[in-house]
C-alpha cells in the first residue's frame, strides 16, 4: 500500500542554522505534497505545499523541493528560530484524495 | 472562514464502554477525514469520505469503529466497545477535492482506562 517515510526522526539545530527534513513516497500517482507543523498539544497546521508539476516552492524562510523521478521531497527551513521548534509532518496526496502522513520529525532549535 | 469544529474536546471512559465523536467540516469541503494520532506518532487515516460516500476505510477497525457522514456534511465516529489501545487524539480534517491540504479540527483527546 501507500507509504511515506521521513528522516530524520529528531533534529537539533542552533538558532540561525538551517534545517532539512527529507521524505520519500511510494505511490507514483501522488500529485500533491503538503507539510504540517504540530506544536505540543495543538492540531497540525499546514505550512507549505507543493504540486507535482512544480520542482520547488519558497515562502519566506521555508522552501520545499520535489523530485518526482526519485519520489523524494524535502522541507528546508533557513535562519531557524526557537519558535520553529515543533514536530513536522510531510504527507503525500494520491490522485483520489487520500492523504498519507510520514511519521514526523521533532525539530528543536537551540537558542 | 470558520474552521473545522469537533466535539467533545476531551473524553475519559472505561474500557468496553462506547464513545462518539462529532465533526463539522469547513463549509463547502467535500472531503472529510478522520485520523487517529497516538502520542509521538503521525496521524493515521481511519476513514475518508467524499460527500457522503466512503473513499477509504482500509485502516478502520471495523469490528469496533464505525463512522458516518449523513447528508455529506457533519460526521460522527463511534467506538464500541473501547479498548485501552484506543487512547489517542482523534482528528477530523476537511478539504476541497483535488490538490489542497486538509485543514484540521482541534481534535478529541480520548483516554480509555
Identify the closest residue of chain A to B30 by CA–CA distance.
A97
Tell me if A43 and B45 make a contact (CB, 8 A cut-off). no
Compute CA distances A10 → A22, A46, A105, A110, B99, whole Å.
12, 20, 5, 13, 29
Q: With cut-offs at 50, 70 and 90, classify the pLDDT of residue A9.
A: very high
Q: How far apart (Å, rounded) are the C-alpha atoms in residues B6 and B22?
A: 6
Other beta carbons within 10 angstroms of residue A109's beta carbon come to: 20
Q: Return d(Cα A66, Cα B45) in angstroms, integer.
A: 23
The answer on pLDDT for B78 being more than 70 is yes
Minimum-distance CB partner of B48 among A32, A43, A97: A97
Taking the Cβ of residue B44 and every Cβ of chain A, the question of whether any pair is shorter than 8 Å is answered with yes
The model's pLDDT over B97-110, given as tens digits with 9 standing for 90+, comes to: 776 778 999 999 99
CA dist B53 to A111, B50, B97, Å?
A: 49, 5, 13
> Are A75 and A58 within 8 A, CB to CB?
no
- Given this model, what pLDDT does residue B1 score? 55
Please tell me the predicted confidence (pLDDT) of residue B105: 96
Q: How far is C-alpha B106 from the geometric centre of its chain's CA atoms? A: 11
Q: How close, in Å, is residue B19 to chain A by CA atoms? A: 21
Q: Which residues contact A58 (CB under 8 A, 6 or more apart)?
A: none
Check residue A67 and give its pLDDT.
95
Predicted local confidence at residue A52, as pLDDT: 86
Q: Is B25 on the interface with A (CB under 8 A)?
A: no
The answer to whether the CB of A38 falls within 8 A of the CB of A87 is: yes
Q: Do A1 and B105 touch (CB under 8 A)?
A: no
B67: confidence class by pLDDT, cuts 50, 70, 90: very high
Residue of A97, A98, A102 best to disrupt the B interface, most CBs of B under 10 A: A97
Amino acid at each position: 500500500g501507500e507509504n511515506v517515510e521521513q528522516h530524520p526522526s529528531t533534529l537539533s539545530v542552533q538558532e540561525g542554522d538551517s534545517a532539512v527534513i527529507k521524505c520519500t513516497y511510494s505511490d507514483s500517482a501522488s500529485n500533491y505534497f503538503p507539510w504540517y507543523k504540530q506544536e505540543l498539544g495543538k492540531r497540525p497546521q499546514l505550512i507549505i505545499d507543493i504540486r507535482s508539476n512544480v520542482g520547488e516552492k519558497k515562502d519566506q524562510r521555508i522552501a520545499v523541493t520535489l523530485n518526482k523521478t526519485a519520489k523524494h521531497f524535502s522541507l528546508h527551513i533557513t535562519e531557524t528560530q526557537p519558535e520553529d521548534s515543533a514536530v513536522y509532518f510531510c504527507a503525500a496526496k494520491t490522485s483520489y484524495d487520500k492523504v498519507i502522513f510520514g511519521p514526523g520529525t521533532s525539530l528543536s532549535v537551540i537558542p | 472562514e470558520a474552521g473545522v469544529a469537533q466535539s467533545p474536546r476531551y473524553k475519559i471512559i472505561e474500557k468496553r464502554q462506547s464513545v462518539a465523536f462529532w465533526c463539522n467540516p469547513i463549509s463547502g469541503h467535500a472531503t472529510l477525514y478522520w485520523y487517529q494520532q497516538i502520542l509521538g506518532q503521525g496521524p493515521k487515516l481511519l476513514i475518508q469520505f467524499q460527500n457522503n460516500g466512503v473513499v477509504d476505510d482500509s485502516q478502520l477497525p471495523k469490528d469496533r469503529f464505525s463512522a458516518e457522514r449523513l447528508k455529506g456534511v457533519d460526521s460522527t465516529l463511534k467506538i464500541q466497545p473501547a479498548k485501552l489501545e484506543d487512547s489517542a487524539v482523534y482528528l477530523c480534517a476537511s478539504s476541497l477535492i483535488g490538490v489542497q491540504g486538509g485543514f484540521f479540527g482541534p481534535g478529541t483527546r480520548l483516554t480509555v482506562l
